[in-house]
């Protein structure tokens, strides 16, 4: 049967307890600094690979050169009678 410890003396000093917490072998402050650095590196990589902003629908686009290949997505198609012959 486990032994019941005596309660601390109410008139005595507060008992001291020391607990060392580590995460992956680092102190909590070191680990949080490591996480901040990791998040900064992730944001730097994401900033390099962000998609370019697409023009708003109905915007007029001007290009300096004729593209060799272009992919488009038709979102709305009117009547065939209103589409020009060279479109």
* CA gap 37, 42 in Å, rounded: 9
- Closest by CA position to 57, among listed 69, 70, 73: 73
Judged against a pLDDT cut of 70, whether residue 45 lies above it is answered with yes
Segments forming the whole domain that contains residue 44: 22-77
- Give Cβ neighbours of residue 36 (< 8 Å, ≥ 6 apart): none
- Kindly state whether residue 56 falls inside one of the protein's structural domains: yes
- pLDDT, tens only, 3-41: 777 777 778 777 777 788 888 888 889 999 999 999 999
How many structural domains are present in the chain?
1
Which one has a higher pLDDT value, 82 or 49?
A: 49
- Residue keyed to tokens 């998040």: 39
Q: Is residue 7 part of a domain?
A: no
Question: Is there a domain that residue 10 lies in?
Answer: no
Q: Is residue 60 part of a domain?
A: yes
Positive or negative CA dihedral for 29, 35, 40, 41?
A: positive
Q: How far is the C-alpha of 19 from the C-alpha of 17, rounded, in Å? A: 7
Residue 8 domain-assigned (yes or no):
no
pTM: 0.38
Give the per-residue pLDDT at 30: 92
- DSSP state for residue 38 in the 8-state scheme: H
In a domain, 27, yes or no: yes
Mean pLDDT of the chain: 77
33 found inside a domain: yes
């Amino acid at each position: 049967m486990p032994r019941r410890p005596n309660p601390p003396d109410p008139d005595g000093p507060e008992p001291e307890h020391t607990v060392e917490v580590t995460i992956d072998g680092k102190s909590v402050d070191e680990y949080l600094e490591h996480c901040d650095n990791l998040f900064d590196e992730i944001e730097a990589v994401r900033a390099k690979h962000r998609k370019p902003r697409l023009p708003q629908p109905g915007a007029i686009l001007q290009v300096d050169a004729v593209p060799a290949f272009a992919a488009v997505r038709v979102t709305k198609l009117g009547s065939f009678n209103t589409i020009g012959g060279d479109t």
